[in-house]
Structure 1
């Protein structure tokens, strides 16, 4: 099962690490406790929209772009876990009523 909070946390962690920043730096800039930001990044807590906006601001990333990255990750997981349709034998003698 896809957990949105896990995908969001992974995106936030990757953005922070790409910038070479520590949890402490981002938590101070976002005005959120270090422990809480860590829990969000690990997918253990769900951030409110206001808190998420502060974290995105601290990372210099628009909220919409962050959510787009999350959406792409979710779509990728869905594609990997989607059932594969199998060919179904049909009776060619059946005539459509249309």
Structure 2
């Protein structure tokens, strides 16, 4: 199962906060978001609105574009892994290229 966007964004936000050595309380105060709600966003249990995400990013002094880009990269990696696992489970070599010949019409006399 692929990760949900809200879970990945929560992880990216948590990583940014912990990299700065900040507590949930500090960021929630700066973002003017309740500590409980910020915790739920970081754990991927709540979907942050664009306004809330903007406030959290501002409090962390991290551009929202960077948060979304990082989340997109994590999702892309997870999707590729899932595709590889599915191909392995079906015993398909994903590096093999298949050439399908062109259909040729033949006239019957």
Query: Structure 2 length as normaliser, TM-score?
Result: 0.79
Cα separation, 2, equivalents of 1:78 and 1:23: 30
1:62 aligns with 2:63: yes
- Is structure 2 residue 40 aligned with structure 1 residue 34? no
For the aligned residue pairs, the C-alpha RMSD in angstroms reads 2.1
State yes or no: 1:10 paired with 2:16. no
Max Rg structure: 2
Q: What per-residue deviation string (whole Å, max 9, x for no partner) do you get for residues 42-62 of structure 1?
A: 000001000000000000001
Task: Give aligned pairs, total.
Answer: 94
Instruction: Identify the residue that residue 92 of structure 2 maps to in structure 1.
Output: 86
Gaps of 5+ in 1: none
Q: Which runs of 5+ in 2 are unaligned?
A: 105-109
